[in-house]
Amino acid sequence: MPRTATARREGTPQDRARRRFQRRQWARRWLTWRYVVVGLLVVGLIGFGVYATYFSPWLRTEGVQVNGTGQLTEREVLTAAEVPVGGPLARVDLDAIATRVGSLATVESVDVTRAWPHDVRIDVVERTPVAVVDAGVGLRMVDAGGHIFGVVRALPDDLPLIVLRAGADDNAMAEGAAVVAALDTMISRLVDHVEVDSVDQIELELRDGRQVRWGSAEQSGKKAEVLLALLATKAKVYDVSVPGLPTVR
C-alpha cells in the first residue's frame, strides 16, 4: 500500500519528466530575470550617483580653503578666484579658477582641487623676491626670472635695488634679476644697488662706494668666486665681466 500511494503521487514517468522540464524552464527564466534585476539595480545606482554628485544639494560647494599665501592675503586670492558657492562641487570649473588666481602677479603657480565633500582647495606658490626695482609707479619686487610683482613702501634691508637706466628693456631687467639671484650671501650683503644699462652692461654698486663691472648674467657663479678673491685688493673698480681675465682699477 505505501508504495502504491507513493507511485500515485509521483505519477507516471511522463509526469515526472514533465515536472523536471518545468523546473528547468523556471530555472532558465529566473536566471534571465536575475540578470535583468541586477542590471536594473546597477543602472539605478549609477543614476543615483550621478544625481547625487552633479545635481543634488548633498555635495554642494560651501567653502574655499586657501593655502600657501604670505605676501598675498586670503581675501585677495578669494576675490580673484570667484569660486561659485552653492552649486554642486563636481560642476565647479577648477581650470577657470586656477587661471584667475594665476593671473595675480605675485602667484608663480597654483593648484586647484576639490576637497570633498563641500570645499574647493587652492594651493598657491608665491614668487620669491630677489630684488626691488623702481618700476615708475613705486618700488616693486622682482623674482629671479625678472617678473615684477607686489609693492613695497620702503627698500627692505635684505633686498638690493635694481636701477634701470634709460633704454633698459624687459630683457635687461630679467638679466639684472638673474645676476642678483646668482650672488651668494657674502656678496649680496655688500651690494647697495645694481645698475642695468642693457643685457650685457650690468654693474654692482657696493655699499662702500666701490663698483663692480659684471657684464651679463652668464657665468655669474664664476664671476662671484673671482670677485670674492679680488675684493682683498684695494681698488675702486673691479671688472669681472670676463672672469678668466679680471681687472682692477
CATH of span 63-126 = 3.10.20.310
* C-beta contacts of 145-154 below 8 A and 24+ residues apart: 145/174, 145/177, 145/178, 146/170, 146/173, 146/174, 146/175, 146/176, 146/177, 146/178, 147/105, 148/105, 148/173, 149/105, 149/106, 150/71, 150/105, 150/106
Q: What is the DSSP letter of 90?
A: G
The pTM assigned to this predicted structure is 0.75
Tally DSSP H helices, then E strands, for the chain: 7, 12
Give the architecture-level CATH label for domain 129-248. 3-Layer(aba) Sandwich (3.40)
Residues 147-190 pLDDT 10s: 999 888 888 888 899 999 888 898 999 999 999 998 888 888 89
Here the cell at position 45 is 545606482
Here the cell at position 110 is 597654483
Domain residue ranges of the chain, discontinuous segments joined by +: 2-54, 63-126, 129-248
Residues 5-26 pLDDT 10s: 554 556 677 766 666 666 766 6
